[in-house]
Copies of this chain bind each other. A is one copy, B any other.
Amino acid sequence: MPRLLIVEDEPALRRALAINLKARRYDVDAVGDGATALRAAAAVPPDLAIVDLGLPDMDGVDVIAGLRGWTSLPIIVLSAREGQADKVDALDAGADDYVTKPFGMDELLARIRAALRRGGADIAAEPKVITDDFTLDLAAKRAFRGGEEVKLTPTEWHLAEALVRRPGVLVPGTQLLAEVWGPKYERETNYLRVYVAQLRRKLEADPSQPRHFVTEPGLGYRFEP
């Protein structure tokens, strides 16, 4: 499930948000001030941050800027301030969305979904990848084919995720190698051949004629949903 970081100084609202979002099965991390927020985000990068503009220790805009310095995760701003100028400042500092208090939980949830969706983290929100032949539950790390569970090794999972994350898109071999084995392995095309073959053997209905893990000769591999 996507990991959310809530930065809200008012304890009542912080708890309410945390409970509501946890009920929606999000992984929630809730902190009360900007410094703690930046530290928490650095320790375990969340998939999305919800930041209150009115914080005790620093301006919310600075928190946004601090996050934007090193990550591109979606940021939703909460604020009681009605002013246009605040909105503009926050958005230009790098926020992705701005919600004015009081707000409804439904709206916030919808905006979270929208932000995660375009952030690409939405695979986490809907962590089940389903095809005609097999199903991958990325969150639970379980794979099924024809009702039977199939066991994938860690490397196989890593490779499968790298492909499944961009459905229909061609991923160059070098990029897959860098993502799964590290940048130094970009030339070890052997690894790809071996592990793609194993994925196909375990997941495809007919491994010799793969329908979902497709080779684009000379270019890379593609996952077809």
Contacts and interface: CB of A to CB of B under 8 A. Distances in A.
A219 interface: yes
Given A95-B114, A97-B97, A118-B96, A140 B169 contact: yes
Interface stretch (A38-46, A84-92, A174-182): A84-92
A88 to B, nearest CB: 4
A12 interface: no
Contact of A84 (B87, B91, B106, B114): B106
A39 B97 CA distance: 29
A161 to B, nearest CB: 12
Contacts of A218: 153-154
Interface of A: 72, 74, 84-85, 87-88, 91-92, 94-98, 104, 106-107, 109-111, 113-114, 117-119, 139-142, 151, 153-154, 157, 168-170, 216-219, 222
27 contacts: A84-B104, A84-B107, A85-B106, A87-B106, A87-B110, A88-B106, A88-B107, A88-B109, A91-B107, A92-B110, A95-B114, A96-B114, A96-B118, A98-B111, A118-B119, A140-B168, A140-B222, A141-B169, A141-B170, A141-B219, A141-B222, A142-B168, A151-B216, A153-B217, A153-B218, A154-B217, A157-B219
